[in-house]
Amino acid sequence: MTRKELESEALKLDPKARARLASKLLESLENLSEKENLDLWAEEAQRRDEAMDRDGDAGKTAAAIFKEAASRLS
């Protein structure tokens, strides 16, 4: 069964069953080995780096973010 097929079948479950499945899946992520966690973070860092390379203007400085947040709170 492919991932898409599995997702499709999971989405056919009733809400309680989907919630139980989601809970079990999230719990399984809490039990990853240190290597699995490091690999996932490395993949995420690579994805973000590639996104920044595609759109160099996508990133904002901390100062710009704080200034924007402050203006929204005013």
Sequence spans of domains, the chain: 3-73
Question: Between 36 and 48, where is the model more confident?
Answer: 36
CA angle 41, 43, 45 (to 5 degrees): 70
For residue 51, what pLDDT band results from cuts at 50, 70 and 90? confident
Mean pLDDT, the chain, whole residue set: 91
State pTM to two decimals.
Answer: 0.52
